[in-house]
A and B are shown apart, each in its own frame.
Chain A
């Protein structure tokens, strides 16, 4: 049985209070304006959300990935777009926390816990899932690294204070590209946002290009060793990125479930609530089942991560399931609402767009299936 601790239950409650007052009320505005509400990210920082899994010695809260998933689920229940901005910030935080040296942790984590926003830039026009096709470069010149290239589809591209980028820094003895990770401080010349994309959904988190134009960073900004890039990039995305997306999918599932129940009870048709019709009950049953299944998969997976055990297959399963289920559930909820489902006064059309946009974020369902199958067949 999935059971949260008293502290986790309390945490969910206080997060929900915050989300209902500060985020739910502006969720459709966030979606329409499609710019990241940066001031909201500064508020969540004050409440500890931005550094929830960072130890107290770096001014974090010292909790884990289960608590992070609770926060993301609660936020995504009302605004999956904003949840994505926070979840991506966590990726930058995680990379430094896990692979940074003590000095880097002391320097960056307190800032990132208290309001500075992080982004993680991996993907390039040449490919997302294909690491080897990466063209951005880092060259060591006079003891400084000079970074050049263009990253695309980067969340928080236009609002991140601190960017963490993966670039190519040479080749290994077998001629394979060698990737390395750098942290770029605020206001470093040459690092700037480029084009901003218009997404189908998950609007309200900025997504676009990060341009590296002769960006000069000190050698001390290298995270891990030269060549650790693939490990850090993939490690961050596969565990923290995808578990975050699973939690966001879960939030969308809950939104659909709650809204479908509310509508079915309130809408009167032929003198009776819609909920009295059997086919409507089927939709409600399916929505509920998908939500429950997603909940078990997601919290099971992050529980494994919190236990410090290998968790990539479980996280991939959770991400695959919740995001796909979110699409189906949102579609069913639209069907349930009939005409109201597609008018923009109801948020369901947003849920569907958010669900669709959450498939590629952190790796598509095909990539998830390859990982899952790989683990099953190994």
Chain B
């Protein structure tokens, strides 16, 4: 079955700010639209978010459907899903793209079940094949395997997209687009069995991992909180960001899950990535494979991590880190 409707993206906003991934979704949708000729529509939901449509248009949306209602202030799965279900039934889009954040991937699955249509999870690529079918490439086994997913029979096709994988378009404030306001249909008689009480989100300092030109990632081989401090220092003096593997997070050395790189964490593409004491497990490596230069430091000269590196350094992290710090301070 051909695609016979618009491409929608469901923009993700938190407290009235659009998340980067919303622009990335638009970037991809534009690319697909070149092939299928349908306009790209962004759906944005929330309360007091009247300023967002213009931003979405500037990043490539041809149309924006704005649903601005007090009950949409906080994301809540059942409420958002109901509104989206009704909206999708009304407009019958061909494709709906979601961010694969915790809340939006949950939303995509729920909407898919309500509409009885297929949902591809955490896609890292989307394209039309020669038969004109939409191919959705999804990772499995922690990124070790990539599989193609098709949705042959039902519409819309729903996919969630991993943040950081697609490129956004340059912002163009001169772009024009249509803004449609829709009510939050379906909520009139709906009483949610759940009550969202609070949302707590940390404000993060420093260069965000996904924007840094140089990322220093530490693994279990860093060995202690003291040595981790050196890694932080080095990142600071290089204006880079610190990333980590799962064990370094579990040890409590890294600051939090926002520093985790890999299938369960972030996908990054810095100019330079330097790994310290990391064994190169696929789960981690899938998150860095599109980086520019990859350097790894490991005290095991036979470590498999060197197979995924441009430069390998067989050295003890404890000895190399202080040396690097010293050299970089000298160089300044």
Contacts and interface: CB of A to CB of B under 8 A. Distances in A.
User: In the complex, is A directly touching B at CB under 8 Å?
Assistant: yes
Interface of A: 263, 266-268, 340, 345
A134 B270 CA distance: 72
8 contacts: A263-B302, A266-B302, A266-B304, A267-B302, A268-B302, A340-B302, A345-B299, A345-B300
Interface in B6-52: none
Interface of B: 299-300, 302, 304
A291 B304 CA distance: 27
Contacts of B300: 345
Nearest to B299: A345
Q: Which of B300, B302, B304 has the most CB of A within 10 A?
A: B302
A268 B302 CA distance: 7
A19 to B, nearest CB: 18
A266 B299 CA distance: 15
Nearest to A266: B302
Nearest to B316: A345
Contacts of B302: 263, 266-268, 340
A263 B304 CA distance: 11
A340 B302 CA distance: 10
Contacts of A263: 302
A267 B300 CA distance: 10
Contacts of A266: 302, 304
Contacts of B299: 345
**Interface of chain B: mostly helix, strand, loop or mixed:** loop
A280 to B, nearest CB: 14
A276 to B, nearest CB: 15
Nearest to B247: A25
A263 B300 CA distance: 11
Contacts of A267: 302
B150 to A, nearest CB: 37
A263 B303 CA distance: 10
Q: Which of B299, B300, B304 has the most CB of A within 10 A?
A: B300
A338 to B, nearest CB: 11
Nearest to A339: B301
A242 B300 CA distance: 37
B249 to A, nearest CB: 16
Nearest to A340: B302
Given A266-B302, A267-B302, A345-B299, 5 more contacts: A263-B302, A266-B304, A268-B302, A340-B302, A345-B300
Nearest to A267: B302
Which 3 pairs across A and B sit closest by C-beta, in order of nearness? A267-B302, A266-B302, A266-B304
Contacts of A345: 299-300
B309 to A, nearest CB: 14
B251 to A, nearest CB: 11
Nearest to B306: A268
A364 B299 CA distance: 38
A266 B302 CA distance: 7
A99 to B, nearest CB: 47
Nearest to B303: A266
A266 B304 CA distance: 7
Nearest to B300: A345
B39 to A, nearest CB: 53
Nearest to B307: A268
A134 B300 CA distance: 50
Nearest to A345: B299
A376 B151 CA distance: 73
Contacts of B304: 266
A340 B299 CA distance: 11
A268 B304 CA distance: 10
A259 B300 CA distance: 14
Nearest to B302: A267
A311 B186 CA distance: 77
A268 B312 CA distance: 14
Contacts of A268: 302
A345 B318 CA distance: 14
A340 B314 CA distance: 13
A267 B304 CA distance: 9
A319 B299 CA distance: 37
A361 B259 CA distance: 49
A368 B300 CA distance: 40
A26 to B, nearest CB: 13
A266 B280 CA distance: 13
B316 to A, nearest CB: 9
A52 B86 CA distance: 61
Nearest to B301: A340
Nearest to A346: B300
A239 to B, nearest CB: 42
A339 to B, nearest CB: 10
Nearest to B220: A25
